[in-house]
């Protein structure tokens, strides 16, 4: 059912061209919404089917990790998808890696951008953030009920209107990188197809294969980085990402330390 249009393409036309079995078979669109994740969570609570997508032209209260504000003006691709994997809660948290891998692959293959994945949930181009992922889980009776996966891509936006040179991390957009706008329906369709393919791999074989592919885009591995968590700032060599999705940092004394959350940045020379 078409609820509105995305950049002059009706959703029913988009869905006719969509080569998926579940993802995007139901798409709900609003021009303005507070948060596509909050909207999707409400639908999930009412039992909406897996693969349902909520998408908005603009978010007024978009959120990133740790409750941070996410600027989401017109021109970006802001959407969330409801998932119901038969997995443990711990395994399901790694769906953020799946999402960032899908974005990195699509932006690289579709637009020839030099994409990088950044722990724990960002996609970068030329060292600047182009996409953020927010995965939120719901647990009932100690079991996973659903996951809402939010994806925000800076697409047809001139980022210098929203960020100044002193901002860290610096942000970029597809338009800024290519010097032209891209068609959002085509990008959404390609992303949904890639997401479903990787999700099926995740369901059948677990997260190990996803993480290995994700690390292929993780150019920060092997480099000197700084991790800032709530209490301290630690520097070292980004040694690996373990099976649980934690960052393994090799400290100056050679010891290894795991981080399950935090902000990562390359260490300045």
Q: Are 151 and 80 in contact (CB under 8 A)?
A: yes
pLDDT at 59: 86
Omega of the bond leading into 169 within 30 degrees of 0 (cis): yes
Partner residues linked to 58 by β-bridges: 32
pLDDT at 174: 97
pLDDT at 6: 55
Give the side-chain half-sphere CA count within 13 A for 53.
Answer: 27
The packing angle between helices 208-215 and 95-111, to 10°, is 40
**Residue 212: partners with Cβ closer than 8 Å, 6 or more residues away:** none
d(CA 89, CA 72): 29
pLDDT at 71: 64
pLDDT at 53: 96
Q: Are 244 and 209 in contact (CB under 8 A)?
A: no
pLDDT at 73: 81
Longest dimension (CA), the chain: 59
Partner residues linked to 28 by β-bridges: 54
CATH 3.30.930.10 location in the chain: 5-215
pLDDT at 269: 56
Dihedral over Cα of 249, 250, 251, 252: its sign: negative
CATH assignment of 5-215, among 3.40.50.170, 3.30.930.10, 3.40.50.970, 3.30.70.120: 3.30.930.10
DSSP state of 76: S
Give the side-chain half-sphere CA count within 13 A for 202.
Answer: 28
Q: Are 257 and 263 in contact (CB under 8 A)?
A: no
pLDDT at 4: 39
SS3 at position 268: coil
CATH 2.30.30.100 location in the chain: 224-266
d(CA 265, CA 259): 14
Distances (CA, A) of 187 to 14, 18, 24, 111, 149: 11, 11, 13, 10, 17
Average pLDDT of adjacent 10-residue blocks, the chain of 269 residues? 45 84 93 92 96 92 53 87 94 94 98 96 93 93 93 91 57 95 94 98 93 96 91 93 94 94 81
Instruction: Specify the pTM.
Output: 0.89
Give the side-chain half-sphere CA count within 13 A for 71.
Answer: 15
pLDDT at 107: 98
CATH of domain 224-266: 2.30.30.100
pLDDT at 142: 84
């Amino acid at each position: 059912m078409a609820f509105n249009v995305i950049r002059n393409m009706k959703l029913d036309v988009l869905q006719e061209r969509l080569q998926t079995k579940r993802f995007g078979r139901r798409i709900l669109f609003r021009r303005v919404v507070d948060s596509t994740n909050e909207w999707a969570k409400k639908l999930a609570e009412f039992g909406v089917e897996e693969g349902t997508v909520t998408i908005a032209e603009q978010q007024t209260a978009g959120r990133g990790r740790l409750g941070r504000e996410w600027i989401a003006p017109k021109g970006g691709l802001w959407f969330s998808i409801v998932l119901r994997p038969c997995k443990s809660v711990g395994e399901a948290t790694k769906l953020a890696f799946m999402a960032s891998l899908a974005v990195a692959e699509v932006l690289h293959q579709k637009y020839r951008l030099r994409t990088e994945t950044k722990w724990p949930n960002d996609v970068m181009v030329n060292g600047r953030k182009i996409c953020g992922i927010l995965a939120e889980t719901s647990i009932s009776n100690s079991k996973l009920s659903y996951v809402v996966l939010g994806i925000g891509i800076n697409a047809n936006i001139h980022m210098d209107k929203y960020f100044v040179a002193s901002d860290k991390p610096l942000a970029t957009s597809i338009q800024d990188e290519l010097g032209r706008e891209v068609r959002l329906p085509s990008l959404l369709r390609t992303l949904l197809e890639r997401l479903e393919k990787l999700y099926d791999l995740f369901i059948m074989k677990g997260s190990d294969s996803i993480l290995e592919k994700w690390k292929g885009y993780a150019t920060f591995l092997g480099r000197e980085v700084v991790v800032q968590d709530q209490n301290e700032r630690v520097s070292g060599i980004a040694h690996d990402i373990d099976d649980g999705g934690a960052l393994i940092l090799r400290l100056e004394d050679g010891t290894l330390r795991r981080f399950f959350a935090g902000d990562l940045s390359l260490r300045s020379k």
